[in-house]
Amino acid sequence: MSKLHVEDTVEVAPDLAAETARTLFVAAGAPADVADEIAGHLVEAEQCGVASHGIVRTLQYTREMLDGTLNPEARPEILGQDDNRFTVQAHGGIGIPAMRVAHELAAKQAVDKGLAAVAVLGAGHTGRLGAFGEGAAKKGCLTIALGGGNRKRWRMVAPYGGRDALLPTNPYCIAIPGGDRGPVVLDIATSQAAGGWIYAARAAGVDLPVGLIVDRDGNPSRNPGDYFDGGAILPKGGPLGYGLALIAELVGEAMLGPVPKGEINWLVLALNCHNYNEAPMMQAAAEEVLSEIRASTPASDHEQVLIPGERERDALAKSSHGPLTVPRRIWTAIQAMEQDFAPPK
């Protein structure tokens, strides 16, 4: 758990983790193919080192399917509007299939037409956004995805200068073709940490790093329980994260309209980079920039300077054939949920 200090862990085979998650999602009402896609996405996120969006989300997704927060039977539906503008209606289902469809559609249209805009309405949690942006970047596209529009339900983050949780974590993902090592992928929450890290810390029974949350009185805290007891996550970079979150909220609610069901609305923009520069020339120019950054002297508390997206790809390559390292309390909770809700094997 890259942001959390967890000593009590257990090794879990990726196939077992995926099958356990799949079993739970099907038991909660998801179609088998949708359950497969979600489970595979969570395992890959874990392998990429993004544990906040990894196997721990099995607990959240299953509960939300069972309690009606998510529509487990939903499938994303493409509603065409014109050559460059589309809507993907998620129908209140988990957002992972909807965001995959949106990015694939946006990239295809951008390659064919030069640019595209896709609105995603009423999507549940969308998983690790970098996975979708990277796929589009490999097709030669710059993509910008931002989500918001459900602050009345998901009050999680304090505005800069305030202490009350008023905004969602309103994530952004910007991806662009890179150099020799692949795309550059910026996948961020506009808060100091994605909400998943707070949930993971509580599930694992550990404290959070300093500087992520405040308690209900606005005092700094490391106890994830203080967040759930009326506290708030802080905005990333103070006014920077706050400003980005506010714009995403206006796009998600004021521009795209009320969230009918689900977590938030999304806007995915795609541009064909190779209409400006041919692929080999762009890759060579990008590599010149990126290699200089990588070669720069690291700060005293860092081993090296990293390029966004490369850490996840490297982690995936190293871990794809080995077991997942999961906090024991999280895996035990998943197994207990399987015993409670899933049919006997």
What pLDDT sits at residue 344?
Answer: 63
Q: Please check whether residue 1 is in contact with residue 327, taking contact to mean a CB–CB distance below 8 angstroms.
A: yes
Query: How far apart, in whole angstroms, are the C-alpha atoms of residue 341 and residue 304?
Result: 45
The verdict on pTM exceeding 0.85 is yes
Architecture per CATH, 1-72+311-345: Orthogonal Bundle (1.10)
Report the alpha-carbon angle 215-50-72, nearest 5: 85
Classified by CATH at the fold level, domain 74-191+235-295 comes out as Ribosomal Protein S8; Chain: A, domain 1 (3.30.1370)
User: Residue 174 to residues 232, 266, 336: CA-CA distances in angstroms?
Assistant: 26, 13, 37
What pLDDT sits at residue 5?
Answer: 76
Counted residue by residue, the chain has a size of 345
* 90-93 LR contacts (CB < 8 Å, sep 24+): 90/120, 90/121, 90/122, 90/123, 90/124, 90/262, 91/122, 91/261, 92/122, 92/124, 92/260, 92/261, 92/262, 93/34, 93/123, 93/124, 93/262
Sole residue written with tokens 């039977």 = 73
Q: Please check whether residue 234 is in contact with residue 213, taking contact to mean a CB–CB distance below 8 angstroms.
A: yes
Mean per-residue pLDDT pooled into runs of 10, the chain (345 residues): 74 96 97 98 95 93 94 94 88 97 97 96 95 98 96 93 95 98 97 88 90 96 96 97 97 91 90 97 98 97 94 90 91 93 66
What pLDDT sits at residue 2?
Answer: 59
Query: How far apart, in whole angstroms, are the C-alpha atoms of residue 93 and residue 18?
Result: 19
What pLDDT sits at residue 342?
Answer: 64
Residue span(s) of the chain under CATH 3.30.1370.60 come to 74-191+235-295
What pLDDT sits at residue 345?
Answer: 57
Residue among 125, 47, 58 nearest 332 (CA): 58
Burial of 120 (0-12, 13-18, 19+ CB in 10 A): buried
Cite the beta strand spans of the chain per DSSP E. 9-12, 77-80, 85-89, 115-123, 141-148, 172-179, 182-188, 213-214, 220-221, 232-233, 264-272, 324-327
Query: How far apart, in whole angstroms, are the C-alpha atoms of residue 313 and residue 309?
Result: 6
Residue among 338, 262, 41, 343 nearest 33 (CA): 41
pLDDT digits (tens, 9 = 90+) for 177-218: 999 999 999 999 999 988 888 988 898 889 999 999 999 999
Residue span(s) of the chain under CATH 1.10.1530.10 come to 1-72+311-345
DSSP string, 247-268: HHHIIIIIIT----SSSEEEEE
DSSP state of 157: B
Query: How far apart, in whole angstroms, are the C-alpha atoms of residue 37 and residue 90?
Result: 15
Query: How far apart, in whole angstroms, are the C-alpha atoms of residue 331 and residue 180?
Result: 37
What pLDDT sits at residue 3?
Answer: 65
Checking phi first, is residue 131 left (phi over 0); if not, alpha (psi -120 to 50) or beta?
A: alpha
pLDDT digits (tens, 9 = 90+) for 67-80: 999 999 999 999 97
Query: How far apart, in whole angstroms, are the C-alpha atoms of residue 329 and residue 1?
Result: 13
Edge-to-edge order in the sheet of strand 213-214: 220-221, 213-214, 232-233
